[in-house]
Structure 1
Amino acid sequence: MEETISLHDIAKIIRKRLLLIIILMILSIGIAIGISFYLLTPLYQANTQILVNQNSGPEEVYSWQTTETDLRLINTYNVIITSPVILTPVIEELKLNMTPGQLMNQISVSSESESKVVNIGVLNSDPELAVNISNTVAEVFKEQIPKLMSVDNITILSVAKLSDIPNPVKPNKTLNIAIGAIIGFMLGIGVAILLEILDATVKNESDIEELIGLPVIGVVGFIVEEKEKRLSLFSRRARRNLNV
């Protein structure tokens, strides 16, 4: 027999199982708080911006074609920044206990569309180390790129700085808690609907009609209540007879 549940039925189920839904929401929020605050390692971000131009002599005019060439080379610069030729000197200078591949996983390089400004971002569990890595990568790139390409006009626009009170960018605790609440709510509704579907007890006339497929033509009243009334009446009559 196919069963369908309308929005009205879902609303009734939510009201009926509201306590269960709230309990599952609280549990889910508690799990999200535990994971965000105690299991996930906080990561801090540092950013350094550099401006890269091609090498041009005094006699050359900085034309539109030169600008277009610079923009096309930005992707090449992004690859070079995260290559071992840059990262190996960074590891040696900062005495890092990691490989170039491990360091590369902490670095993100990006640039805005139609812009020659390159942003070097570093994620690390140590905020001071993230700042040092970001600035050192920019400095090493500035030193090494003239040897690799015809570029010697590199300007560091902004250096990464250590905040007095560093705030981790990951994990986003507020977002995780909100997601936990939503998951708990949806799980609570799902469990409530499942319990309602699996509940095979007969509660009213419509359940009987659905179960046997026949209309209900009569309803028997509460026999226990009627029996109690009769016993009470008999008891009063017996007391009157005894008094007589």
Structure 2
Amino acid sequence: METAFSLQDLLTTIRKHWFLVLCCTVIASAAAAITSYYLLTPIYPAETQILVNQKSSSNIEQYQWAQNNETDLRLINTYNVIIKSPVILSKVIEKLELDKTLESLAGQITVSSANNSQVVNIVVMDKQASQAVKISNTLADVFKKEIPILMNVDNIEILSVAKLIDNPKPVKPNKLLNIIGGTVGGLMVGIILAFLLEFLDTRFKSEHEIEGILNLSIIGLVGAIALEKETNKPMKSRRVRRN
């Protein structure tokens, strides 16, 4: 026996258990809002940009300039690794007197560069906006000073420094997105629970359900029969008068 499930059945189930669905949606939405506003710690970003470009004289030949430019592009991938290396991060921790391990500090740093671009972006995430700015700028400064020693090249310039602005906005958590996700999740949980309750209820609720399951036409209905309660009172004999 197979039972067909239609959109009408879906809407009927939701209407029948609308209060359960509403409660799950409201509770999940409220939980997401409370978590986003009061429990999760805000994370602030700070970005510093460095330029990888070898210094050259004005009378340098064109092919030599192109060769230097190609060399800088090949070095960028290496620089991206060196920026987050212990030799650089240890000096940043020492200079700022940070109470962090190398691993935790490396987890706060994101280094990226666009294809064929000589600009490297250093983004630092921290619970304090001012601390993120300090780490980002110090990291770029330490890297610029150490790279000539490590690579025997002097091709780093700080293009832009991170700045602390008034009323900085955190990038995490995304409160609106969390609330929307909680609302949708609560709605789905409520609908699933409604269907679970509906499927666990094996009683026939209408003659149409019986007709659909047995695939038989209904030829008649039996109305409700009211049963009298039994009493312990003796039955009185009735006399019938004859005319």
User: Tell me, what secondary structure is at the counterpart of 1:26?
Assistant: helix
CA RMSD of aligned residues (A): 2.1
Distance 1:12 1:147 in 2: 74
Q: Which has the higher helix share?
A: 1
Contact map agreement 2:3 2:212 (CA 8 A) in 1: no
> Taking every aligned residue pair, what percent have the same amino acid on both sides?
54
1:152-207 alpha-carbon deviations (Å, 9 max, x no partner): 13221111111211211111111111100111111111111222222212211122
Per mean C-alpha deviation after superposition, the further-off stretch among 158-167 and 211-220 is 211-220
Contact map agreement 2:2 2:213 (CA 8 A) in 1: no
5+ long unaligned stretches in structure 2:
229-243
Residue 44 (structure 2) aligns with: 44
Contact map agreement 2:49 2:159 (CA 8 A) in 1: yes
User: Tell me, what secondary structure is at the counterpart of 1:189?
Assistant: helix
Residue 235 (structure 2) aligns with: none
Distance 1:7 1:221 in 2: 30
**Superposed displacement of residue 44, structure 1:** 0.8
Residue correspondences, number = 225
TM-score by length of 1: 0.84
TM-score by length of 2: 0.85
**Superposed displacement of residue 8, structure 1:** 2.2
**Superposed displacement of residue 68, structure 1:** 2.3
Per mean C-alpha deviation after superposition, the further-off stretch among 129-138 and 188-197 is 188-197
Residue 233 (structure 2) aligns with: none
Residue 90 (structure 1) aligns with: 92
- The one-letter code sitting in structure 2 at the alignment partner of 1:8 is Q
Paired residue for 1:65, among 61, 64, 67?
Answer: 67
1:188-234 alpha-carbon deviations (Å, 9 max, x no partner): 1111122222221221112223455643221123556xx9xxxxxxx
Distance 1:69 1:195 in 2: 67
Paired residue for 2:148, among 146, 149, 171?
Answer: 146
